[in-house]
């Protein structure tokens, strides 16, 4: 099929999220039915684990010349094992601090120890690393035919006004041609994926969508973003409203899980455990996150594998079980061999605070009537939780709720489709900030260019949880 082609176009999508990063690519074929989206997974060398997502964390080395040495979980684990960190810089949450923490982009970013580095340099190094990671799989040609690359980069939907320009500038500095760079908001990419969700075999492509309003809810580990979007008749996507809040989602569930064990066993299970045993801590967090992602509301019991080192550090299983018995919760929590067995009621109770905050935030900040919303689309890491899905569905029972099969991959897959179809995203009438910023129904004129003309300045996130505590739990660092 490629023999008659002089060049092959490959669309590369890179998502640098506030919590997680991922990628996808697609080789454009003459026959649309032959299209396939692929991911290049990230490998954590110390654990030999492969994952299509990895934490948005970058490790740099400065020996006179700055270079990026590792990214994601690998960066965290390498940093822990460094004997001398004086020539290294570790950046966590840098996308949040770049685009979401303020109305303007900072000139410099501070690493975990306060060392500073030019913001555009941090981002361009990361982009170069991520693009190189994808190209390690695609190569520069297919059967001798050169590849031309089109790049699509996502930005958080809650980003400040200058984020698109800044991301494009960093991509060009990283070596991408300016004519081959597209920057798109995550919510818009997710909506594009919903409109073309035949990739998941769930829905047909929707044709008449210009009179519909969609609420995209991005549920990440420690923040929630809501956006109201519509499809404009000429194929563009319009973002008419967006707001974000620092709601601890799955981070809250992880935190409450550890606090529950600490309370019932009279132990401080993770005190200093991350620093002493980073690999074991990493595996524990992966285990907890897996249970959050896959545990159904009707599950009869939840078994979480515990590290042998953690159990040894905190005494014998018999002592821990005796502590549980004294608390009167012997029927709720049990320790057997290397497992912590939790009753379904106790496990689901961990979601109460996180679920309640998310539902309250949606109801409080939604600047339109639910009857105006055609569909609520849930995306993000925490959106994968069946228990949370059940909470949200029961709270918004009158609205269609769509959750992609891989809710954490909806934005990156949609980004590929944005690149394939050159979809333009219109934010010229977008209202940003709290519900109080809205003086009219944002869905009253969807599907045309008569959306609200008054644009409020981008506001800082709603502080449901104090900003100084945001994502500081060790449970949310190694994810």
Q: Which two tokens stand for residue 345?
A: 């009621």
**Phi and psi for 213 in degrees, rounded to 5?**
-115, 135
- Sequence-ordered strand ranges (E) for 290-350: 302-305, 333-336, 339-342
- pLDDT at position 476: 45
pLDDT value of residue 477:
38
Q: Which residues of the chain register pLDDT less than 50? A: 199-206, 446-459, 461, 463-479
User: What is the C-alpha separation between 181 and 178, in angstroms, rounded?
Assistant: 6
């Amino acid at each position: 099929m490629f023999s008659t082609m002089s060049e092959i176009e490959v669309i590369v999508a890179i998502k640098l999220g506030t919590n997680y990063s991922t990628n996808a690519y697609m080789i454009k074929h003459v026959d649309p039915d032959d299209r396939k989206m692929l991911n290049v997974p990230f490998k954590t060398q110390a654990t030999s684990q492969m994952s299509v997502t990895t934490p948005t964390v970058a490790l740099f080395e400065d020996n006179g010349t700055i270079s990026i040495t590792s990214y994601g979980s690998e960066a965290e684990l390498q940093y822990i094992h460094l004997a001398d960190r004086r020539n290294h810089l570790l950046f966590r949450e840098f996308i949040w601090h770049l685009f979401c923490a303020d109305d303007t982009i900072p000139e410099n970013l501070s690493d975990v120890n306060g060392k500073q580095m030019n913001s555009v340099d941090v981002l361009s190094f990361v982009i170069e690393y991520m693009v190189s990671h994808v190209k390690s799989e695609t190569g520069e040609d297919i059967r001798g035919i050169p590849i031309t690359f089109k790049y699509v980069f996502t930005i958080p939907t809650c980003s400040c006004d200058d984020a698109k320009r800044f991301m494009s500038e960093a991509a060009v500095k990283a070596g991408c041609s300016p004519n081959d760079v597209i920057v798109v908001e995550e919510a818009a990419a997710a909506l594009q994926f919903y409109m073309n969700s035949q990739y998941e075999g769930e829905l047909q492509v929707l044709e008449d969508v210009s009179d519909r309003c969609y609420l995209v809810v991005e549920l990440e580990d420690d923040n929630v973003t809501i956006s109201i979007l519509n499809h404009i008749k000429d194929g563009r996507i319009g973002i008419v409203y967006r707001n974000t809040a620092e709601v601890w989602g799955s981070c809250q569930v992880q935190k409450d899980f550890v606090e529950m064990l600490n309370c019932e066993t009279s132990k401080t299970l993770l005190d200093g455990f991350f620093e002493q045993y980073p690999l074991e801590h990493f595996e524990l967090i992966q285990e907890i996150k897996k249970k959050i992602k896959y545990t159904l509301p009707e599950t009869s019991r939840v078994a979480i594998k515990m590290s042998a080192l953690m159990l040894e550090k905190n005494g014998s299983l018999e002592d821990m079980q005796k502590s549980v018995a004294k608390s009167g919760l012997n029927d709720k929590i049990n320790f057997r061999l290397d497992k912590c067995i939790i009753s379904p009621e106790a496990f689901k109770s961990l979601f109460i605070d996180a679920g309640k905050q998310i539902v309250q935030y949606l109801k409080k900040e939604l600047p339109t009537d639910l009857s105006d919303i055609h569909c609520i689309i849930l995306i993000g890491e925490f959106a994968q939780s069946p228990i949370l899905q059940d909470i949200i569905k029961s709270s918004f029972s009158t609205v269609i709720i769509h959750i992609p099969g891989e809710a954490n991959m909806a934005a990156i897959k949609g980004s590929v489709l944005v690149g394939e179809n050159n979809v333009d995203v219109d934010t010229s009438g977008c209202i940003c900030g709290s519900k109080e910023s809205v003086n009219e129904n944002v869905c009253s004129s969807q599907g045309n260019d008569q959306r609200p003309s008054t644009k409020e300045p981008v506001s800082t996130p709603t502080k449901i949880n104090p900003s100084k505590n945001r994502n500081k739990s060790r449970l949310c660092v190694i994810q």
